[in-house]
Chains A and B, each alone.
Chain A
């Protein structure tokens, strides 16, 4: 299978298994969800429900959480340093909430681990995604991930300060 995961500007294999929860799941459902062994991406709600049980696995680097667009990142703020990876979901690429989530994770909660954009994203979003702090992008199957990689260089310069370049252009312009 073609490699669809871009990380640190390279195509690599993806070793994480994704554990899903139904959209309307309650905290009880989340508490009851079995988590198989090995590296697993679990919904943030499941983390909140099974925090104590999963803590040692998280510390061993086996737990990543995924954040749905409606999930408030504030609710896992004190735990972010425990995760080997955080995946931010984009069920539809026109739903831009995940961009703010990413900035908050990087800028406010000082999260330094892998920040992965997953879902309905592609080469036309990558440049912005990278700017707000994503360093990994799971390109949906069927899309040319190698071509998508090129788009990270679409623009030679940027105006505003964000995660990849905290200084706005006006602090860097040479007269």
Chain B
């Protein structure tokens, strides 16, 4: 992974000093709340329902075991012992004292981490595929490019006060696992006929109250121009994005208003002025960064020694086989696999990890996976380089720490925002809904029978839980001061990203598990062999599911609310 040199260190340390000064001025009453807000947000600090919330950056979701231990230490020392991994691959702590934040940032800096630009109207943490560098379908490793972009966007002097936040995601594989089409700027690594690397660029994607899929700007941007083109694009947005209404301030609204072709034309025009300027990337710099993402020293296992199937047969343990089936993923190197440590164990909030779990995951990484981990946008952790021969041991150890629920990609692997329990913007709680669904679908045989199903929950229209992209999406809405839930169907992430459709009027919290179950029964009754839930929905359309959802649903409360 990327290691800071003396300059990178000095920059991050300077930031800690700067924020310490700002915090001291705020606490001494020399900086007003309004003036302090944007400054603290650009250091990941929100003021939430109970206490300040701190969002720490995990650049492109990559962590060393040392870094994860530091996060665990911070979580234990300054919070109540649980951290929340987010869909943007960061870690949030919900019970932080404002005056302690400079110390936390200093501790993060000691392991080459920070909370820079994890919030605020600036370029945010850049996200990518959790299987970067090991995926079989990889065109090129996205991590060096994500690091190059991280450096370019860090303290970018022109773009600290954009109309709204700006999120970048990058995918290096055929199968997009980074949701690039719902980001403000989405980058797909591609190779041209000559084998040269470049990017297909998308812009104007985003969720929130106006969910939109990103539009193609350019088919093949040669890699040398990544920074100048991005600079031109963000400049056009900075100058012409709306600033009169925060709900209409994302780049997607600008792209939609003037049309993606016109927007691309303006970007191109701007770009021609700065193309080939000093910010043009050099082969030396790309090599310098890429070298730091070189593969670890893999052992040479013969290609044919083991397959996941043979490992399953050898151990003959149903629970282990299920874990192999769901939580273990293909690896480009023979004899290796990637392992997802599930943070979706029923009883805990999705994405939450305790101090002990973080430490256990760090220890597993050290022993079995070259000391590295990834955070996924589905809010789980991944060990990417586990030898087949160690899978059983990893499973047993993960199980002992509550990290081995064999539910990756299943209904239980929900993406869920913190919702009304923590977030002051929420219309409704999301964690109790997730808990009720976990409880209803606790039976593993049933979960496996249902198969692949993405269920995402957001507590309000801000869509932090990506509900629009769930095959089933649940959105908290406020009706006359009461918490209700709207359901969408047919969303999808990845290459075929699609915004789900609302099925109809909303439900009370208590109805949700029944509603989900009835829709799933409809699916089970009507599916073709090997057809996933979302494909059955695509084939049949909404009506049978809608009918199932509202059957038996003469809820008095809902009828009264219309």
Contact = CB atoms under 8 A, between A and B. Distances in A.
B471 to A, nearest CB: 38
Interface residues of B, number: 39
Given A124-B35, A154-B18, A170-B282, A96 B159 contact: yes
28 contacts: A94-B161, A96-B121, A96-B159, A96-B162, A96-B238, A97-B243, A99-B160, A99-B238, A100-B235, A107-B274, A124-B22, A124-B39, A128-B157, A128-B160, A155-B11, A157-B10, A158-B11, A158-B155, A159-B152, A162-B157, A168-B227, A168-B278, A169-B7, A170-B281, A170-B282, A171-B278, A173-B5, A173-B7
Interface string A116-135: 00000010100111011000
B273 A95 contact: no
A124 B285 CA distance: 31
B440 interface: no
Contacts of A157: 7, 10-11
Contacts of A97: 238-239, 243
B160 A96 contact: yes
A156 B10 contact: yes
A100 B278 contact: no
Contacts of A129: 157
Contact of B158 (A93, A103, A151, A159): A103
Contacts of A156: 10-11, 14
Q: Which 5 A-B pairs have the closest CB atoms?
A: A96-B161, A131-B157, A170-B285, A128-B157, A161-B278
Given A94-B38, A170-B285, A173-B5, A160 B121 contact: no
A166 B238 contact: no
Interface string B236-263: 0011000100000000000000000000
B279 interface: yes
Contacts of B158: 96, 99-100, 103, 128, 132, 162
Contacts of B161: 93-96, 99
Interface centre among B162, B278, B281, B288 (most CB of A within 10 A): B278
B154 interface: yes
B86 to A, nearest CB: 24
B155 A155 contact: yes
A39 to B, nearest CB: 29
A93 B18 CA distance: 18
B11 A159 contact: yes
A167 B35 contact: no
A156 B157 CA distance: 14
A160 B35 contact: no
B44 to A, nearest CB: 16
Contacts of B273: 108
Nearest to B235: A100
Nearest to A90: B161
Contacts of B10: 156-157
Contacts of A94: 38, 121, 161
B7 A168 contact: no
B100 interface: no
Contacts of A132: 157-158
Contacts of A99: 157-161, 238
Contacts of A169: 7, 151
B279 A127 contact: no
Per DSSP, are chain B's interface residues mostly helix, strand or loop, or mixed?
A: helix
Contacts of A154: 14, 17-18
B235 A166 contact: no
B389 interface: no
Contacts of A168: 152, 227, 278-279
Contacts of B278: 161, 166-168, 171
B282 A171 contact: yes
Interface string A136-175: 0000000000000001001111111110001111110100
B156 interface: yes
Given A94-B161, A171-B278, A155 B235 contact: no
A64 B160 CA distance: 27
A153 to B, nearest CB: 9
Nearest to A154: B18
Contacts of B18: 151, 154-155
A159 B151 contact: yes
Contacts of B227: 160, 168
A135 B39 CA distance: 23
Nearest to A102: B158
Contacts of B121: 94, 96
Contact of B279 (A93, A100, A131, A160): A160
A175 to B, nearest CB: 8
Contacts of B154: 159
Contact of A155 (B14, B156, B239, B281): B14
Interface in A49-101: 93-97, 99-100
B120 to A, nearest CB: 9
Interface in B2-26: 5, 7, 10-11, 14-15, 17-18, 22
B157 A127 contact: yes
Contacts of A159: 11, 151-152, 154-156
A160 B160 CA distance: 13
A108 B7 CA distance: 30
Contacts of B238: 96-97, 99-100
Contacts of B157: 99, 127-129, 131-132, 158, 160, 162
A131 B39 CA distance: 18
Contacts of B152: 159-160, 168
